[in-house]
Amino acid sequence: MNRVVEKASRGEVVFGTWITINSPEVSEAISTLPLDWVVIDMEHAPLDIYDVELILMGLKGSGVTGIVRVPWNDPVYIKRVLDVGAHGILVPWVSTYEEALAVERSVLYPPHGIRGVGPRRATMYGSIPSAEYYKKYLEDLVVLVQIETAKAVENLEKILEVKTITGIFVGPSDLSASLGVFGERNSPVLLGSLEKIPKIARGKKPLIGIMAYSPEEAIRAIKMGYNMITLSSDMANMLRGLRSFLQDTLSALR
């Protein structure tokens, strides 16, 4: 079982961050922190498949689970990400049971799915016997679908029935837009949905994730029942640290 899933199944909260910068040094540096996982973002960051492969290499040996958010619910993206050795995938904009089933089909090999046979780095270039890989890779794989529309919240119970899915991940920004309160992160409308989601998912899947942009949001999410907490992103945290450093220096000079 993947370490992240194992910890969450024991009732622990697992912490991670978003990687958007195309450098293995960034992922390697982040992996020195006591984090459980990272999401490498191909949807909104300018990262291609080779960038993803290098970023994953930066995590090697660290124990940090490398999850890749693919650009879309597309079997080609999912196949290529798995073949370069991702420890998990996050699929955006999954709003129906049928869309969740499409994720499952993309992950499974025939006859149960449509993933093409030919993993490259995932088998360490053939050093892991193919039969062993095909038999066991799902035991360690994290498969997350992103809940970011009002329709997804309505269909959540059905989405959770898909066996291969390990958990869900809530995108508060897109969900706020879908609910008609775009950017209002403290809106009662948004908070009502955010409180509803873990109540439905608890006990059905081990991972219930969400993005937090501040310590206050992270603590609030944990109290709501989320157990997979994103501590913002590499870019945002870099700018936050530099901004604070600059402000403190300028204040001391006044």
Which residues are the active-site residues?
Answer: 44
In terms of Cα–Cα distance, which of 37, 47, 114 is closest to 78?
Answer: 114
Count of Cβ atoms closer than 10 Å to residue 89 Cβ: 24
In terms of Cα–Cα distance, which of 65, 60, 53, 4 is closest to 28?
Answer: 60
Burial of 16 (0-12, 13-18, 19+ CB in 10 A): buried
Q: Distance between CA atoms of 233 and 240, rounded to whole angstroms?
A: 10
Q: What is the DSSP letter of 115?
A: P
Q: Distance between CA atoms of 151 and 149, rounded to whole angstroms?
A: 5
What is the signed CA dihedral for 248, 21, 167, 209, rounded to 10 degrees?
Answer: 10
**CB of 82 closer than 8 Å to CB of 21:** no
